[in-house]
Amino acid sequence: MAAVPPTSCGVPMDAFEDLMKKMKGMTADQQAQWIAENKKACICPTCPTYNGCAKKNEELLFCATGKSFMCISAEKGCMCPTCPVTKAAGLKYKNFCTRGAEKAQRYEHTIWGTKIP
Ligand code: SF4
Ligand code: SF4
């Protein structure tokens, strides 16, 4: 098994933290390209929570871009755990359209120790 690269403070870095580090080093164009590519892999449109408003406004990739902007408020299940982006990006959370991006949920959990059921 490959060694997990350490952070500057010596704590092992997981796949998501590694991705965030790589994205910080990207240009704005490269970041936009990453988002466009991963939007193609997003399976939100197959989810019962996804709705016509989100489709019309081309809302996707909530794990990176954050909560749905005015379209989704009711949770009816979440397909994120089966999405290829979850595996590739090392995501730990789900329901990103209503609860916020992976980064935000990790931060909230770290600060408050909260766990939304
Ligand atoms: S993890 Fe969820 S929000 Fe992120 S790309 Fe996959 S289905 Fe979309
Ligand atoms: S983020 Fe999860 S709950 Fe929201 S639409 Fe995508 S798959 Fe469904």
pLDDT single digits (tens) 64-107: 999 999 999 999 999 999 999 999 999 999 999 999 999 999 99
79 Cβ below 6 A of ligand 2: yes
Report CA(110)–ligand 1 centroid distance (Å).
22
For ligand 1, atom 5, the nearest C-alpha belongs to: 42
- Say whether pLDDT at 111 is over 60: yes
Q: At 7, which amino acid appears?
A: T
- Whole-angstrom distance, CA of residue 88 vs CA of residue 61: 13
Report CA(76)–ligand 2 centroid distance (Å).
9
- Whole-angstrom distance, CA of residue 75 vs CA of residue 54: 13
How many other β-carbons are positioned within 10 Å of the β-carbon of residue 36?
Answer: 11
95 Cβ below 6 A of ligand 2: yes
Tokens read off for 9:
């403070």
- Listed in sequence order, the residues at least 6 apart from 61 whose beta carbon sits closer than 8 Å to its beta carbon are 35, 38, 39, 42, 44, 85
**pTM surpassing 0.75?**
yes
Q: At 42, which amino acid appears?
A: C
